Structures are given as structure tokens and as C-alpha cells.
Amino acid sequence: MNLRQFGKFSSAIERVDRLIGSYNAAPLYYDLAFRVASSWGVSCFNYGYAPLSADVSADAACTEPHQLEMYRQAAVAVGAERFRGAVVLEVSCGMGGGLAYLARTLGVGTAVALDRAQPGVRSAHNRFRLPAVKADALSLPFSDGSVDVVLNVEASHVYFGEPFLSEVRRVLKPGGHLALVDSRDLTPGGAEAYMRDNLAPHRLRLTSFRDVTTNVVDSCVADSPRREALLKRVPFFLRPPLRPMLGVEGSSRYECFRSRKTTYFISTAVAE
């Protein structure tokens, strides 16, 4: 492949990456991704968190410890005690493994998984025995004030805005909590202000914001061998666009985190 061909190929990969991130295309991509991931035994999707806590390290059932550690960190940010006996809804649950981990370890009352991709819903229900619903994040099929905690991990960038936040506030009980884990191409201060300014009009008050970009970078490095092994299971021509999505060390997405172009954060808010 000469330089011109490589440039065209790289441009095509970037266009695919932008398409995957668009709201209308996301279900098509994740439908396929979840089908493949299910056959590989993958339980959840996120860039992961390091270092691992003693709780996760000692849990023999954690086959993807860095990814589950991110869920644990989100729960700690909300207050792990608030999950006990609570109704917890994960919007964009992926395969359901992260929510299942919290339900198993924190004594959640009712853990409900929701996703637009049917294979993810099927995995959450059949594999993890969670109540699971195929639905849209912009139209949550739940009654007003029926949820104690809404969880959203590494998905809001696809649909973040007024419709989503209005739905979150509608289904949360007064005093209920939102845990939103994601990244933005902003400085830490800019990302915090962005979250506060967008949440406030919906009577969602930002209660904590934590920049965990360094933890994500460390996770990508520590977990790269497993991710590289997953890449070897797909045809070679699919590996370039998947490398950044998996956050493999040296990929473009990894470099965004390492260079601090992108801030990865754990944020929480309370419904007022």
C-alpha cells in the first residue's frame, strides 16, 4: 500500500468511526458488535479503570476486571449504599455485565437493563438474568418518578442533550441519582462546566465530577493484551476501525486520552 492509498484508507476509517458515533447508525453497529461480543463471552464495553480495587481483584467472577472496576467507581461516586434495595436503570446497558456486577455485589433491589440493540438486551436477560427492555434512550418506557438511580456508561456522547436529560429527570424520583460516565473533547474544567450547564435546566444538580483520564490510560495499557487478542479474532480489514474503539495502546483514541485532548470523567447528579 503506497502513501496515497494509505491516506485514502485512513480517511475511510475516520468516516466509518464518525458514522458509528452518529445517533441513527449506532443501533446498526452495536447490533452487530453485540452479536460478535456475545459469542466471545464479552460482558461489558468501556475503556476500563486502573488500578483495580481489592474488591474487584479478589472477585473470581470478574473476567473483565478493568471494565467492571469502572462500574464500581461509578457506584462509589453515587454512594454504594444508595444502590442497596434500589431500582437501578442502566440506559444503554451494552451486554449487561456491568449492571449485573453491581446488582450482585451491592444488593440492588431491581436492576433494569435498557438498550436499543436487541442482542444486548438478549444478553442482559438470558445471560445475566436481568429484567431487560429494548427501547430508546430518548423515550424511556417507565413511569414518572419510578427509578432511584439512572446509570449511563460511555454512551451519552451519542445522544446527550435535552430529550435524553428530560427523560432521565422524568423517571428519577425526587432525590434520585444519575451516574454518567463518559468523555468529551474538552479540558477537565470545560467538561465539568459543560455537564453542569446542561444538567441544570432539567433540575439535575451536578454533585460530583471526577477526571479519571489517567486511570483510563492506565487501564488501556494494562488491558491491551486482552484487547489485542480480541482483535485477532476478526478479519484483518476490520481491525483498524476497531482498535480505537477498544482503546488499544497506541490507537488514535488512546492517544486522545494520553495527550489529554479528551477528558474521561465520572459525574453524578441529583434530581431536585
Q: What is the pLDDT of residues 9-55, one digit of tens each?
A: 334 444 444 444 455 556 666 776 676 677 677 888 899 999 999 99
What CATH number does residue 229 fall under? 3.40.50.150
pLDDT digits (tens, 9 = 90+) for 235-266: 888 788 788 888 999 999 999 999 999 999 99
Domain that holds residue 8: 1-272
- Model pLDDT, residue 17: 47
- Model pLDDT, residue 266: 99
Between 65-78 and 97-106, two packed helices, what is the crossing angle to 10 degrees? 60
Residue closest to 177 by CA, chosen among 208, 136, 138, 156: 208
Distance, CA of 100 to CA of 113 (rounded, Å): 9
- pLDDT of 219 > 80? The answer is yes
Query: For the CA atoms of the chain, what is the radius of gyration?
Result: 18
Number of domains in the chain: 1
Bridge partners, residue 151, by sequence: 90, 179
- Model pLDDT, residue 238: 78
Q: Average model confidence (pLDDT) for the chain?
A: 90
